[in-house]
Each structure stands twice: as C-alpha cells, then as structure tokens.
Amino acid sequence: MVGHLSTNCYLVASDRTKEAIIIDPGDNEQKIIKGIEENKLKPVMIVNTHAHPDHIGANNEIAKKFNIIAALGEKDFDLISGWKNIFEEFSELKIEDLCIKKLLKEGDTIEVGELKFKVIETPGHSNGSICLFGEGVLFSGDTLFAGDSGRVDIFGGSEETMNDSLARLMELPERTEVYPGHGRSTTIGEEKIIYAKH
C-alpha cells in the first residue's frame, strides 16, 4: 500500500524473465523502488488503471528511475486537465511529468514475459478506468472492491456506466482472483453473491 489513501500498488512479474509491470504507483516511490530492487525485477512499463492522483503520483520518479513509460486508458487522458481544477495534487502538475506515452483501449494486450493481460474498459469511477484481466486474475483499480465498488460522485464518474462495468466483470470466471485499488483481494465468485443481492 502506498500514499495517504492506502492505494494498492502491484508489481506483476514474470518468474522466467523477471520483467515486471508496475500497476498504480500512487506515492512512496522509494518503497516501490526498494521492492523492485529487492526482488531483482526488470520494470518494462507502468500501468495506471485510472488517472486519479492516488494512482499516478509516483509515475514520474518511477519512470525516470527505470527509463520506462506509463500507460493509461485513452478516455482518461483528456480528463487530467479537468481534474487540475478539482484535486489539489494536480494543481501544479504538468501532464508530461506523468510520463504517459501509451494510451490503452478495450482489447489491448499487455505482455510481461510469458504473462498476458487483456485491457477491459470499465468506466464509472472515471470515464477512462480500465481493468487488466489474465492469468486467472483481475486488477480492478477503483472499479471493483471487496464487497463494494468505486465512488461515482466525482468528475468523470457515472453510476449508469459503473453498473454496466460491474455487470461485465461479473461475467468473468468465478475463480478469478480480484486485486483492487484499495483494500483486500476477493474473487469474482464472492462478489457475484454480493452483487446479486443489490
């Protein structure tokens, strides 16, 4: 966990090549760098599930340290300028400092050694929120939490699109392990039971 909102930052690595992607480095770049170096990983890309400051705050430092770029859902990129007026953390931020050089869309594939993850567009928490699905796991950002979903009452949020996104995720295999942007992990099977009661 990193930052004052306890964001889950994930280091997803190939056992074979030690290549790794860094999902949502929101803050505490030294803690993230230490984890990478202690595990002798070779970072190849940052992936931001969305562009809220608690998920992208350490992009610049991590990208420069390992000479890598960041990727973001294409529909979130243009919202960054709008968020400058809402989030204090964005007020003085230059978009180029986020090191976002790759925009992701539905169906794109991210490969890390032998691992493959498909991009699923899941708007609702923000217009361009994405999840990564593959290898029996889902990195769900702030779309799906254990027993809950992300808030929809901030700029770019929508209850209608969030409901559509959650319905799509409930179609994934029940054994899928879910690693959210905040809080504990869960499974699609566990969340389907909760979702059915709503």
Does the reported pTM lie above 0.85?
Answer: yes
Whether 178 is covered by a domain: the verdict is yes
Question: Count of CB atoms within 10 A of residue 34's CB?
Answer: 11
Q: How confident is the model at residue 86 (pLDDT cuts 50, 70, 90)?
A: low
pLDDT at 110 over 90: yes
pLDDT in tens, 18-34: 999 999 999 999 999 99
Position 175 scores a pLDDT of 98
pLDDT in tens, 4-16: 889 999 999 999 9
More confident residue, 116 or 86: 116
If DSSP states are collapsed to H, E and C, what string results for 67-127? CCCEEEEHHHHCHHHHHCCCCHHHCCCCHHHHCEEEEECCCCEEEECCEEEEEEECCCCCC
Position 177 scores a pLDDT of 98
What's the structural domain count of the chain?
Answer: 1
Whether 4 is covered by a domain: the verdict is no
Whether 15 is covered by a domain: the verdict is yes
Averaged pLDDT for residues 142-157 = 92
Q: Which domain holds residue 70?
A: 10-196
Whether 3 is covered by a domain: the verdict is no
- Kindly give, in sequence order, each residue whose CB lies less than 8 Å from that of residue 53, ignoring residues fewer than 6 positions away: 26, 83, 87, 89, 90
CATH number at residue 40: 3.60.15.10
Whether 163 is covered by a domain: the verdict is yes
Position 122 scores a pLDDT of 98
pLDDT at 100 over 80: yes
Whether 5 is covered by a domain: the verdict is no
Whether 1 is covered by a domain: the verdict is no
Looking at every residue in the chain, the average pLDDT score rounds to 92
